[in-house]
Amino acid sequence: MYIYLFLLNFQRKYSYSLQAKKKLSLIFLCVIFGIVLIDLCQKSISAVTIYVITPTFYRISQKPDLVRLCNTFKLVDNMHWIVVEDSLVRTAVPSTHLNAASPKDRKKYHIKGSNQRNAGIEWLRKHRVSRYHKGVVYFADDDNTYDPRLFNEMRTLNMGATWPVGIVGGSSWEAPDDPNRIIGFWTGYKPFRRFPIDMAAFAINLDLLFIYPNASFDYKHVEQQEGALLSQLGFKSAMDLEPRAEGCSKVGFRRIFSRGAHFLPSCELFS
C-alpha cells in the first residue's frame, strides 16, 4: 500500500515537473522568436537605401559646402549620394558624379537645379538594383545643414513624408500646424500653396519614380518646384504627406547662406 502511494505521488510530481518544463520551454521559444522578429524588423528598416540628390554649381564656397555635407553623410548608414554638376570632393560616402547643364536663359525663370535633380532621378530609374529593392529619395542642396537623425526618420516612410525646417522663407522655422496629422502649415511664404514646403522638407518612396515614369522638375513653376514634382507623383497636396521628426516637433534641417555671403577678391590656394 505504501509503495503504491509512493509511486502515485512520484508520478504526479514528475507529471507536474514535465508540464512546468513544457511551459518554460514554450515561454523561452516565444522570447527567442520575439528577439529574432525585432532584429529582422530593424534589419529591414536599415536595408532601405537613402538616395540623396544634390545639385551643385561652381562658386567660391562650393568645396567647403560639399565637405560639410559629406561629413554629415558619413554618419548615415546605407546611403548613396548623387552629386550633379561639376565638382565632387574626396569622400568615403558611396556616390555617383553626374553632369547636367542648366539652360542658358535660366536667369529668366529664376529656377536653379531642376536639370541637375532630373539627371539624378533618371540615374535612379536606370540603375535600380531590382524591383524589390527598397529606397527613399531625398533632395539635399549643398548649402544646407542636416541632422543625421533626420535620415533614420525618412527610412520608415510609406509614400512620402515631411518634417520641420529651420531658417527658411524669412522665418526661423516652418512646419505643419498639428503634430498628429497634417491639416495646415506654418510658413512665411505663400502659405496657401497646395505644397507650402521647402525642397529639403520632404522625401519620397523610390517606387514612385517607377510608378510615375514621367514625373520630373521643370523650369516653369517658379518657387513651386516641390509641388510641381509631388503633384506628378500622385500627391494631391502636402496634407497627403506623413509627419515625421516626432510629430513634426523637431527641426532636422537648417538653411545657411554661404551662397549669398560676400567674399573679398582672392585666389584659390588649393584645388
Catalytic residues: 226
Amino acid making up residue 261: A
Question: Do the Cβ atoms of 105 and 83 come closer than 8 Å?
Answer: no
Residue with cell 503634430: 179
Q: Kindly state the cell numbers that stand for 38.
A: 525585432
Q: Map grid coordinates 531590382 to a residue.
A: 130
Element of type H or E holding 61:
none
**H or E element at residue 212:** none
143 assigned ligand-binding residue? yes
Percent helix, strand and coil across the chain, each to the nearest 5? 40, 20, 45
Long-range pairs of 86-89 with CB within 8 A, sequence gap ≥ 24 = 86/56, 86/57, 86/58, 87/56, 87/58, 87/62, 87/63, 89/63
Cα distance between residue 191 and residue 181, in whole Å: 17
Instruction: Give binding residues as ranges.
Output: 143
Instruction: Give binding residues for Mn(2+) as ranges.
Output: 143
